[in-house]
């Protein structure tokens, strides 16, 4: 049963009860407990295609609640807690959705060490996945979101989840946090895209979340094989330019874009090495989404690489 298949009142009762609302998000089961209905309405919009889980095994137990004591009366705030631990300072109550998303990112990056976790967007087409490793502000989320809106399978805008056992990619197609100018860019690019409310004055400026494509959510259990690694950089007015990367340089760039490369030790090294060996590697500069997607559509049928 999906979130959209039950009434909001029932959803609120589940989330507000002691057992909480359990949701399957990629390979993880998240138990959410909250009584904040404004936050829950936004959550139910952005996560409407996700399955309500009946699995007794929960990966992350998350509570979104108001602080106790005098803070409750000074200013409306919300606290994110995981297993009773509060890793962040309270946020304004009307910023509960960004706090939940950032908090869940923190949980995955800190605890999901069965995967090599790349800081990357990931999309797939024709059975071939492209990994977009990049620092914040590079345009990886906007590019990944645009590809998802043009029929590519959207795996993530934030995490390239590489299984330690075989190097395959685990999708985790959550809502995309569009920031500042990217919000209008995606609205113009796809007027039918479902985008949640604006959250101004966050630590990253104005944020709005793009709903993940329904098909991508439904296929979140289907693993993907890496075929290309592309390090993107958005530059206003720039022509679309792909530049092939030497394997040793691509190895350094990819390993430095992993959250837990050192934690995984030898397994992390082997996974990065194997991905680099099996993928074509490029730097990308772009500004025109239509043009870069046209070129990626053409490139995805061409796969080749040399061993490191």
**What's the pLDDT tens digit per position in 240-281?**
999 999 999 999 999 999 999 999 999 999 999 999 999 999
Q: Are 84 and 231 in contact (CB under 8 A)?
A: no
- Reported for 105-114, long-range contacts at CB under 8 A and 24+ positions apart, including other chains, are 105/158, 105/159, 106/82, 107/60, 107/62, 107/82, 108/28, 108/159, 108/172, 109/159, 109/259, 109/260, 111/59, 111/60, 112/28, 112/161, 113/260, 113/263, 113/264, 114/163, 114/164
Dump pLDDT digits (tens) for 121-133: 999 999 999 999 9
User: What pLDDT, on the 0 to 100 scale, is given for residue 301?
Assistant: 78
Phi-psi region of 151 (alpha: psi -120 to 50; beta: other; left: phi over 0): left
Could you tell me if 91 and 125 lie in one domain? no
pTM for the full predicted model: 0.93
Could you tell me if 103 and 126 lie in one domain? no
Flag whether 306 is in a domain: no
End-of-domain residue from the set 69, 90, 111: 111
Question: Sorting pLDDT into bands at 50, 70 and 90, what band is 303?
Answer: low
Token pair, residue 210, equals 């793009």
Could you tell me if 189 and 222 lie in one domain? yes
Whether the predicted pLDDT of 302 surpasses 90? no
End-of-domain residue from the set 111, 129, 163: 111
User: What pLDDT, on the 0 to 100 scale, is given for residue 70?
Assistant: 62
Could you tell me if 55 and 137 lie in one domain? no
Dump pLDDT digits (tens) for 49-82: 999 998 779 999 999 999 986 655 667 899 999 9
Q: What number is the average pLDDT over the span 111-128?
A: 96
Could you tell me if 71 and 217 lie in one domain? no
207: Cβ–Cβ under 8 A, 6 or more apart, which residues?
98, 177, 178, 179, 198, 199
End-of-domain residue from the set 90, 111, 132: 111
Q: How many domains does the chain have?
A: 2
Rounded to 5°, the CA angle 259-263-269 comes to: 85
Flag whether 102 is in a domain: yes
Could you list the residue range(s) of the whole structural domain that residue 238 is in? Answer: 115-299
User: What pLDDT, on the 0 to 100 scale, is given for residue 68?
Assistant: 81
User: What pLDDT, on the 0 to 100 scale, is given for residue 77?
Assistant: 94
Flag whether 307 is in a domain: no
Could you tell me if 181 and 287 lie in one domain? yes
For residues 304 and 258, give the distance between their C-alpha atoms in angstroms, rounded to a whole number.
23
User: What pLDDT, on the 0 to 100 scale, is given for residue 71?
Assistant: 59
Flag whether 46 is in a domain: yes
Could you tell me if 217 and 268 lie in one domain? yes
Could you tell me if 89 and 123 lie in one domain? no
């Amino acid at each position: 049963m999906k979130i959209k298949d039950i009434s909001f009142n029932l959803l609120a009762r589940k989330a507000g009860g002691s057992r909480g609302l359990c949701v399957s998000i990629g390979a993880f089961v998240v138990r959410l407990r909250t009584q904040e209905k404004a936050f829950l309405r936004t959550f139910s919009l952005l996560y409407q295609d996700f399955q309500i889980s009946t699995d007794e095994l929960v990966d992350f137990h998350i509570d979104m609640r108001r602080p106790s004591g005098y803070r409750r009366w000074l200013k409306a705030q919300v606290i994110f807690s995981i297993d009773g631990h509060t890793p962040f300072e309270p946020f304004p109550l009307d910023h509960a959705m960004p706090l939940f998303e950032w908090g869940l990112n923190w949980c995955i990056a800190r605890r999901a060490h069965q995967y090599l976790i790349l800081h990357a967007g990931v999309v797939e087409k024709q059975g071939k996945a492209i990994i977009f490793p990049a620092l914040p502000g590079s345009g990886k989320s906007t590019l990944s979101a645009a590809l998802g809106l043009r029929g590519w399978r959207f795996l993530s805008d934030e995490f390239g989840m590489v299984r330690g056992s075989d190097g395959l990619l685990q999708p985790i197609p959550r809502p995309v946090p569009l920031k500042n100018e990217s919000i209008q860019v995606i609205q113009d690019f796809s007027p039918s895209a479902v985008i949640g409310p604006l959250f101004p004055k966050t630590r990253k400026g104005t944020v709005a979340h793009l709903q993940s494509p329904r098909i991508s959510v439904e296929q979140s259990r289907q693993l993907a094989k890496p075929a290309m690694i592309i390090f993107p950089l958005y530059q206003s007015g720039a022509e679309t330019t792909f530049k092939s990367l030497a394997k040793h340089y691509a190895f350094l760039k990819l390993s430095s874009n992993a959250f837990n490369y050192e934690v995984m030790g030898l397994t992390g090294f082997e996974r990065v090495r194997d991905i680099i060996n099996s993928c074509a590697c490029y730097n990308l500069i772009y500004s025109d989404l239509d043009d870069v997607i046209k070129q990626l559509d053409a490139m995805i049928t061409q796969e080749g690489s040399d061993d490191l």
